[in-house]
Amino acid sequence: MLDNNKTLRENFGLDTFWENNKTYINSNGVLSVILLVVGILYHIECEFLFYGISFFIIITIITSLFHNADIVKKKEKEERIITDRTDEEKWEKYYEKEDFFALWTHQIKTPIAALNLLFSDEEVDTGSCKRELIKIEHYVEIALNYLRFEEMQDIVLDTCSLEHIVKQSVKKYSTIFIYQHLSVELDNLNCNILTDEKWFSFVFDQILSNALKYTKKGRIKIYREVFEDRQEIAINDTGIGIKSEDIPRVFDKGYTGFNGRMDKKASGIGLYLCKGVCDRLGHKLKITSCEGKGTEVRIILLSDRLESSDLTKM
């Protein structure tokens, strides 16, 4: 029986009506009681008293109905605004992904076309094929991590060998190092760090790939500096450098800067993902550069105190 009454109240909106008007109804109810008491005390005719209180009750009901309708309309309007904003945000994300994959398709077509030409030769150049395959693998990795980045719920913090991560990445790009006649220097990397190995490796690979892309001669140096409250892993190159006006925006989504515009294949997604991943891992990224002389990217590890519960939520 109680459940039936509750269902009836919900169907007719009585609970909502009461919540919206209870203060008004209670105050008018008190006034009606006061009017009744005053009428009795001063011997006002019952008929006059009845019509007076009835009129007061009717006015209360009508006013409450209008007041309730106004509140319901406002709530519906607010819900529509929230729904519209949510839909708008969803469409914006959809169009962002559409733009990214439109550019990504053009990016990955270049190494695929190059591979096709290489395989058509009678004598296949193995080194050139490897370089094009590395590019394809790099583009695919960015696309997969771009899709996973919004959720990013597979973070597993553990102590990892920094030297192992760095050497794996250098080995991955060894063909490009050899082809471009670049030397690599490793210094003070024999230590363990607290991070997620998979995501940290992605960040490091992306930074090293950028260094290789814009360094045509010289060397790339990877080293670690230890401070009282942090340790910093630096990737220093002798490449073309970054214009000073571009540095504040290099982590912005879709921003390619002067070098990216000259390259014509840059998406402006790589460093944006690196920054987002580092934020969630409790690390920081810092870039310094001198145009024409080179660039240094530092991954700053503040995660010695980090626990899984401290991870930044999406």
CA distance 224 to 71: 62
162 and 295 fall within a common domain: yes
For the chain, the domain total comes to 2
Cβ burial of 314 (10 Å; 0-12, 13-18, 19+) is exposed
The domain boundary residue, chosen from 82, 110, 125:
82
The domain boundary residue, chosen from 51, 82, 113:
82
Task: Assess if residue 302 is contained within a domain.
Answer: yes
pLDDT digits (tens, 9 = 90+) for 120-130: 877 878 888 88
Closest CA to 203 of 277, 304, 253: 277
Torsion, Cα 73 74 77 78, to 10 degrees, reads -150
Within 10 A of 164 (CB to CB), how many other CB atoms are there? 14
pLDDT at position 267, please?
60
Average pLDDT score over the chain: 78
250 and 166 fall within a common domain: yes
- Segment 83-102 shows an average pLDDT of 71
Give the β-pairing of 294-301 and 183-187.
unpaired
pLDDT digits (tens, 9 = 90+) for 150-203: 777 778 888 999 999 999 999 999 999 999 999 999 999 999 999 999 999 999
Q: Cβ neighbours of residue 205 under 8 Å, at least 6 residues apart?
A: 138, 141, 169, 172
CA distance 17 to 75: 13
The residue ranking higher by pLDDT, 155 or 27, is 155
Provide, rounded to the nearest whole percent, the portion of the chain with pLDDT above 70.
68
pLDDT digits (tens, 9 = 90+) for 272-306: 889 999 998 989 999 999 988 999 999 999 855 44
Closest CA to 200 of 108, 101, 306: 306
pLDDT digits (tens, 9 = 90+) for 46-87: 666 666 666 667 776 777 666 667 777 777 777 777 776 766
Domain holding 13, by residue range, is 2-82
Residues in the chain: 314
